[in-house]
Homo-oligomer: A and B are copies of this chain.
């Protein structure tokens, strides 16, 4: 007899990870929370994590004890505030926030478009800081998301020094069909690529005028942040288009 499959979300890949089983399962439970789904009932959570309800209940109890999970009086489970705290500790451990946020604020204020900062992570890149455009039509992206290297403006920008790509990198609908973006790497005191800063614009309003406005803004902030971090912006100047 076929399974009913009443719920929309399919049993999302029980995680290919190995290790201490109980911990493994607890982490799968945490990662079962996606996007902005509200409180989840035990049944749904154990289904998503592929766990026996008894086991899920026990693990959730432990997670709750540390504030990783919040149990609502009305029933249902949500992520807990400890994650807010640790997410913030993580950000601060990058020791970039102090330089990045003011730069993103300037970019957004002067361009009226969304500004973001990515760091490289192995063969991926991850959005670590982001400010949304003040305009009503804007692209949607979330802090913490990982994306491929080499594709998209930030993806190219993070490897621009290796590939000799002219800076700033400008893409139109490359990774996402309806988005254009401008990005430039930022160097640290060791001359390494600390990250990539840039602006993204819905493609329909990315004309010559907005490009002419944003290109120097992105370069300016990349060079300024490189200096702030004690780095030498010469390699960026050298690749300037």
Q: Does A26 contact B (CB under 8 A)?
A: yes
**Residue in B18, B89, B90 whose beta carbon sits within 8 Å of that of A65 in the complex:** B18
**Residue in B65, B90, B142, B145 whose beta carbon sits within 8 Å of that of A83 in the complex:** B90
Q: Does A42 contact B (CB under 8 A)?
A: no
Q: How far is the CB of A229 from chain B (nearest CB, A)?
A: 16
Q: How far is the CB of A58 from chain B (nearest CB, A)?
A: 6
Interface segment, A30-38, A197-205, A207-215, A219-227? A30-38
**Copies per complex?**
2
Which residue of B has the minimal Cβ distance to A17? B65
Which residue of B has the minimal Cβ distance to A132? B101
CA distance A93 to B81 in the complex (A): 11
Q: How far is the CB of A92 from chain B (nearest CB, A)?
A: 5
On chain B, the residues within 8 Å of A85 by CB distance are 87, 142-145
The answer to whether A66 and B36 have CB atoms under 8 Å apart is: no
**Residue in B18, B22, B62, B88 whose beta carbon sits within 8 Å of that of A87 in the complex:** B88
Residue among A22, A38, A89, A143 facing the most chain B CB atoms (10 A cut-off):
A89
On chain B, the residues within 8 Å of A20 by CB distance are 22, 26, 58-59, 61-62
Q: Interface 1/0s, chain A 22-61, versus B by CB < 8 A?
A: 1110111011011111100000000000000000001101
On chain B, the residues within 8 Å of A26 by CB distance are 20, 23, 26
Residue among A31, A68, A144 facing the most chain B CB atoms (10 A cut-off):
A144
The answer to whether A59 and B144 have CB atoms under 8 Å apart is: no
CA distance A81 to B144 in the complex (A): 7
The answer to whether B88 and A143 have CB atoms under 8 Å apart is: yes
